Amino acid sequence: MDFPIKTITSDAKIQSEYALTSVNSINIGRILAQTVHYIYLYLKVLSLESVKSREEVVFSVPTGAMGNVTAGLVAGLMGLPVSKFVCGVNANDILHRTMLTGEFRKKDMERTLSEAINIQVPYNFERVLYLLNDQKSVKPLMEAMEAKGSVQIPEKIFSNLKKWIVTSRVEDVEMLNTIKTIQKHQKYLPDPHSAVGIAAAIKFANDEALQQHLQTPVSKIVCLATAHPCKFERAIRKALGDHFWDQNVLNGVDMMGGSAKLLLSLPEVNRPVFAKGQNWTERLRSVVVFDSDGALSTSTRSRSCSKLHKTTLGIFALGLGLTGVVVGYLFWPRSRSE
């Protein structure tokens, strides 16, 4: 669904008529908001007695479309002391394969229990390359990828990428075991995507070969959690059993909020299925146009949405600017050696 969403939100006619936007990481506003998470997390790490000022840390990030790690990269380029981003991926491992071989090649989607990071081509990969390299070289590279379905990353671009990112592929069975282990020993229930990130962090910490490539030894790895576990009943049941879900989640007092329980109690409503082989872009386009034709006229809707967009972007820009001033003051200079 990511490609149809990208296509629709990039359609100038749709934009002018419906002022359509998206809350996923196609929208740069989402990424700018997430940038603050990394700064907050680093300041929390600094509060630990064992951490020195400006000490570099590793961030482990469950990775699908690469929006979250792009936000972290922005923070790192602003001056946050980051050693590496560990990108945990599932069986849909285009980023992992790219980091191993230098070839960015899409393949058929595989179903996994960490559904939100099932992706063929992470659209923020283009943004990562743009941030780390000569911007003019990125556009023809991604155009070739879109035309042929694969592209070899030039050595200079690939080298810059490897300075910041390492990857780890986490199978469903590893993810389920991680949920079970963390719940048992830490009394914390991670969702399947967060568990992918935790499993990737554990692999990184135990991989001596990877540690040798770090510029300085790292004592702290921060794992980013991405969702509430109660959204993923099937994965939690598989990891911890039906009894745990029924007793601790559905009927417990701590794990599922009242609003979530109310939502779960409502009757299910079936939505049209987007079947394999159909033109998803055109189907989505028809849904957007049909569902948007309501009480507001097109001109009124466009004006109100446009005003909202400008206000939102203004707030984001102001927030990011202030954040940049703070980070620059605390941590500048920051450079990554060649």
Distance between CA 242 and CA 203 in Å, rounded? 29
Domains, the chain, in order of start with CATH, read: 12-265+312-331 (3.40.50.1100)
The residue written with tokens 């939690």 in the block is 236
- Axis crossing angle, helix 155-164 with helix 135-148, rounded to the nearest 10: 100
Give Dmax (Cα) for the chain. 61
DSSP-derived letter for residue 153 is P
| pLDDT at 327 (0 to 100) | 61
Per-residue pLDDT of the chain (338 residues; tens, 9 = 90+): 777 887 887 888 887 787 777 777 888 888 999 999 999 999 999 888 777 888 899 999 999 999 999 999 999 999 999 999 999 999 999 999 999 999 999 999 999 999 999 998 998 999 999 999 988 889 999 999 989 999 999 999 999 999 999 999 999 999 999 999 999 999 999 999 999 999 999 999 998 777 666 666 677 899 999 899 989 999 999 999 999 998 888 777 677 777 787 887 888 888 777 888 888 888 888 877 765 555 333 444 444 445 555 565 566 666 666 666 566 656 655 555 44
Q: What is the reported pLDDT for 53?
A: 80
* Beta bridge pairs of residue 86: 60, 166
Q: pTM here?
A: 0.83
Q: What is the pLDDT of residue 299?
A: 40
